[in-house]
Structure 1
């Protein structure tokens, strides 16, 4: 082999070695210098604020208030379900760095953990620290590509998925906004553009006080109304300050509900009732005593009547939801269109037994 061939052979060998080195450097190392929690010594109880963002610009902020309660500061400090936040922080603290997938920034976009391309961006704040976590593309069953801001390393983690960190406000709150026991409702007054409607329950039968001569009330016509009042759910909490566009100073519909419920006493509960909440001043109560066969006086059940008011505003601009507020809550909320329509679309004629229904009833043997 002449000198030229020797030089070429050496250069070729160096190229092979260099290629091997470059390839090896681009691959994740199975040997971690130190493995453990991805966010180090993060303690869930130290966290006081969380910001969750989607790549489309939508975001959600959850904050710990002065009373150590989780709230939505952008919705008038509407209360958050504590267990949802606790579960999220526990999942984040449990993420491990024992499965390194990539170490180069060039892989971030492909794995959806880049600064401008991600499934979720989660900011976790404490008094002394501020961490940012990127959740990326799926890496298999219950596995997700994950990166901590400020570090190019991408890990495959389990235990936290994008659906565990939604940005919809309703995903973090108790959506049951107003509720009363259906069987305890004894009177309903509803005002809307079609008129004023009053219903009273007498001897467990609903009666409509607005009947004219010859008209017959159809009790089934208020089933939807009773259903809405017994379990009314919000779609979005709005806060405590009203927007003029909502029209709450001149609501489209006003519903007044009177509920008659039994007051729990020591006799009815079988225990000490000293800590029971007192009857509020705006309620009315009735009770009495009867004498038993043995001559001892036995207390009749005591009942209290409480009145609640719901006010329905306008539909949200660009949406079909209505704005509503209850006398039992300082918060305005959005409710689904079918809820608002139940209050707004009630008419006198819609409460009556039609002539066809009446004829059918008379023909039934």
Structure 2
């Protein structure tokens, strides 16, 4: 065999040996890294819940640094707010928290000491403190702090260190206290309504449905005294009655008037301060009465539901304003009789042009 051939063979063998060494070292490095990751995550705190475990939670405490503390407790099959007030809880919002608890998972350790709690807003004063109970036993006690490029920072009670937790949706836990409460006031289908009325300082508006057609009457109030109802209300617009019903069919509270007296809210005399809306469903499926009082904030007003638990609600002006209605609120819009044919269109177009120049 020629010398040059021997040299080529030796080079090939050497190259193959080099490739073998490279892949061997790569495999060993990957195994070391895997063992390192396993070792690093093996002692991470466990924070998640299985689907079965989450259903065993009976109490949730949430302490926000800048909001009132909230405590939710399961009573039988329903959830209630027990702090800062006692009230029925908003079922969907509680459910969203329970579902999110199943997604929590510790991903990595940032610091195994307490030295950086301030840096990551994990001090008692800054962090959101979440505690979940199974009966009297704590199933989770965790503090949530700053969220950054590395993820959501957290620490676990009883274990020093800053960790990154995955699956946490902060907006689910940082609601205002009022948003943990059940805000539903009324729930009905407008097609099931057969009668409705609005009474206020202006008078009494009475509406009834025959088939699919709405009719109504108006009895004016003068000097505080209700007079007789007029004849058939020719100017009544049935679509306005439907608008009234739509405003109340899924009536919910914007806020609550806890601690307010009847005089404060004007609910001691709703006819003078706001109005009374009554709705009757067919087949004796229900009668609803909502008393509307004084302005709470902005244009929203205080309200209560008769036959309820006495909760004072704050409802939007879109709903509340119907209780304060004047006759024209339920009447057809007036049209100018002298606007006919082309002249009417010309005048309307001119009006639009003038508005455009202003």
TM over 0.5: yes
1:1-365 to 2 correspondences below 5 Å: 31=40, 34-38=43-47, 43-65=53-75, 67-73=76-82, 74-81=84-91, 84-89=93-98, 91-92=100-101, 95-118=104-127, 120-125=128-133, 126-129=135-138, 132-140=141-149, 143-169=151-177, 171-172=179-180, 175-210=183-218, 211=230, 216-236=235-255, 243-244=261-262, 245-251=264-270, 252-260=274-282, 303-304=283-284, 306-316=286-296, 318=297, 320-327=299-306, 329-330=308-309, 331-344=311-324, 346-356=325-335
Contact 1:228/1:339 (<8 A) preserved: yes
Contact 1:144/1:161 (<8 A) preserved: no
How far does the alpha carbon of each residue in 1:201-253 deviate from its partner, in whole angstroms, 9 at most, with x for none? Answer: 234222221256995222233343121122212223567x8733223222221
Contact 1:99/1:156 (<8 A) preserved: yes
Aligned alpha-carbon RMSD (Å): 3.6
How many pairs are equivalent?
288
SS in 2 for 1:116: coil
- Which structure 2 segments of 5+ residues have no match? 1-36, 219-229, 345-358
| Cα distance in 1 for residues equivalent to 2:69 and 2:234 | 54
SS in 1 for 2:58: strand
- The one of the two structures with greater contact order (alpha-carbon pairs below 8 A, sep at least 6) is 1
Q: CA deviation at 1:314?
A: 2.5
Structure that is richer in helix per residue:
2
SS in 1 for 2:105: coil
Q: CA deviation at 1:185?
A: 1.5
Q: Which residue of 2 aligns with 1:7?
A: none
Worse-superposed segment, 209-218 or 329-338: 209-218
Contact 2:216/2:233 (<8 A) preserved: no
SS in 1 for 2:43: coil
Q: CA deviation at 1:92?
A: 3.4
Pair 1:57–1:306, CA change in 2 (3 A): closer
| Cα distance in 2 for residues equivalent to 1:146 and 1:304 | 54
Q: CA deviation at 1:191?
A: 1.0
Pair 1:224–1:361, CA change in 2 (3 A): farther
| Cα distance in 1 for residues equivalent to 2:308 and 2:295 | 20
How far does the alpha carbon of each residue in 1:66-118 deviate from its partner, in whole angstroms, 9 at most, with x for none? Answer: x352101244321331x643542454365334510113333122212222223
Q: CA deviation at 1:161?
A: 2.1
Contact 1:71/1:77 (<8 A) preserved: yes
| Cα distance in 1 for residues equivalent to 2:99 and 2:47 | 13
Q: CA deviation at 1:34?
A: 2.3
Pair 1:149–1:352, CA change in 2 (3 A): same
SS in 2 for 1:180: coil
| Cα distance in 2 for residues equivalent to 1:332 and 1:250 | 14
Pair 1:338–1:355, CA change in 2 (3 A): closer
| Cα distance in 1 for residues equivalent to 2:185 and 2:195 | 20
Q: CA deviation at 1:187?
A: 1.5
| Cα distance in 2 for residues equivalent to 1:207 and 1:361 | 29
- Which structure 1 segments of 5+ residues have no match? 1-27, 261-302
Contact 2:217/2:231 (<8 A) preserved: no
Contact 1:59/1:167 (<8 A) preserved: no
